[in-house]
Structure 1
Amino acid sequence: MGGVEIVTHYMAKELSILGHEVHIVTSEEITERDEDFSDDMFSDNKFYVHRLHLPFMTVISHNSILKSMLFIFTAFMEVRKIRPDIIHAQNFMPSIPAYLSKIFFNIPYAICVHTEKFNLTGWGIVLPLFLKKYWPSLPYIKHSDMIFALTDNARLEVQKYLNKNSITVPNGVDLDLFKSDQLESVAQSDIPKIACISRLEKGKGIECALHAMRLIVKRYPNSKLIIIGDGLIRQELENLTNSLGIKKNVEFIGEVPNYDIPKYLASVNIYLLTSFREGFSMSLLEAMAFGLPVISTPVGIAQYILNGCNNGYLVPIRDPHAICEAVVKITENPEIKVMFSKNSAEKAKEYSWSKIIKQYEKGYYKIIYRDSGDIW
Structure 2
Amino acid sequence: MRICFFAQGSAIHTRRWINYFAERGHDVHLITFEPVIEGYNKSVKIYNLLRIFPNLWPITRFVSGIIWPFQVLFLFLKKIKPDILGAISITINGYLAVASGFHPLILTACGSDILIAPKKNYIWRFLTIFTLRKADALIFAAPHMAETAITLAGDIIRDRIYRDSFGSIDLEKFNPTKRGFGIREKLNLDNNCFVIISTRNLRQIYDVDTLIKSAPIVIDKIPKTYFIIIGDGEKRGKLEKLSEDLNVKNNIKFLGFIPHEDLPKYLTAADIYVSTSLSDGTSVSLLEAMGCELVPVVTDIPANQDWIKQGVNGFLVPIRDHNALANKIIYLLENEEKRKTFGIASREIVEEKSDYYKQMAEIEKIYEDLVCVQSRK
User: Which of the five TM-score ranges fits, normalised by the shorter chain?
Assistant: 0.7 to 0.9
Give how far 1:73 is off. 2.7
Which residue number corresponds to residue 203 of structure 1?
A: 205
Which residue number corresponds to residue 174 of structure 1?
A: 170
Which residue number corresponds to residue 283 of structure 1?
A: 285
Give how far 1:122 is off. 2.1
Tell me, in whole angstroms, the C-alpha distance in 2 between the residues paired with 1:94 and 1:133: 15
Q: Which moved more, 1:289-298 or 1:328-337?
A: 328-337
* 1:233 aligned partner, one-letter code: K
8 Å CA contact retained: 2:297, 2:316? yes
Q: Which moved more, 1:362-371 or 1:259-268?
A: 362-371
8 Å CA contact retained: 1:291, 1:341? yes
Whether 1:258 aligns to 2:260 is yes
Which residue number corresponds to residue 161 of structure 1?
A: 152
Question: TM-score with structure 1 length normalisation?
Answer: 0.83
Tell me, in whole angstroms, the C-alpha distance in 1 between the residues paired with 2:238 and 2:285: 23
Alignment partner of 2:217 out of 215, 218, 233 = 215
Alignment partner of 1:51 out of 47, 52, 57 = 47
Closer/same/farther in 2, CA of residues 20 and 58 from structure 1, 3 Å limit:
closer
**What's the CA shift string for 1:287-327, capped at 9, x where partnerless?**
11111100000224211100289321001111122112211
Whether 1:29 aligns to 2:35 is yes
8 Å CA contact retained: 2:204, 2:235? yes
Number of aligned residues: 352
Tell me, in whole angstroms, the C-alpha distance in 2 between the residues paired with 1:263 and 1:371: 45
Tell me, in whole angstroms, the C-alpha distance in 2 between the residues paired with 1:148 and 1:241: 39
Give how far 1:54 is off. 1.2
8 Å CA contact retained: 1:88, 1:109? yes
Alignment partner of 2:365 out of 359, 362, 367 = 362
8 Å CA contact retained: 2:202, 2:236? yes
Alignment partner of 1:82 out of 50, 74, 80 = 80
Tell me, in whole angstroms, the C-alpha distance in 1 between the residues paired with 2:108 and 2:8: 16
Closer/same/farther in 2, CA of residues 94 and 222 from structure 1, 3 Å limit:
same
Tell me, in whole angstroms, the C-alpha distance in 1 between the residues paired with 2:288 and 2:122: 33
Whether 1:64 aligns to 2:61 is yes
* 1:52 aligned partner, one-letter code: N
Which residue number corresponds to residue 313 of structure 2?
A: 311
Whether 1:73 aligns to 2:70 is yes
Which residue number corresponds to residue 44 of structure 1?
A: none
Give how far 1:8 is off. 2.1
Question: TM-score with structure 2 length normalisation?
Answer: 0.83
**What's the CA shift string for 1:5-45, capped at 9, x where partnerless?**
322222222223444332222232235xx4xx1452xxxxx
Which residue number corresponds to residue 151 of structure 1?
A: 142
8 Å CA contact retained: 1:309, 1:343? no
Which residue number corresponds to residue 230 of structure 1?
A: 232
Give how far 1:204 is off. 1.9
Closer/same/farther in 2, CA of residues 22 and 135 from structure 1, 3 Å limit:
closer
Tell me, in whole angstroms, the C-alpha distance in 1 between the residues paired with 2:193 and 2:178: 15
8 Å CA contact retained: 1:117, 1:157? no
Which residue number corresponds to residue 43 of structure 1?
A: none
8 Å CA contact retained: 1:292, 1:344? yes
Q: Runs of 5+ in structure 2 lacking a partner?
A: 1-6, 182-190
Closer/same/farther in 2, CA of residues 19 and 201 from structure 1, 3 Å limit:
closer
Partner SS for 2:293: coil
8 Å CA contact retained: 1:298, 1:316? yes
Tell me, in whole angstroms, the C-alpha distance in 1 between the residues paired with 2:123 and 2:206: 26
8 Å CA contact retained: 1:194, 1:269? yes
Partner SS for 2:301: coil
* 1:336 aligned partner, one-letter code: K
8 Å CA contact retained: 1:4, 1:114? no
Give how far 1:145 is off. 0.1
Q: Runs of 5+ in structure 1 lacking a partner?
A: 41-46
* 1:181 aligned partner, one-letter code: T
State percent identity of aligned pairs: 24
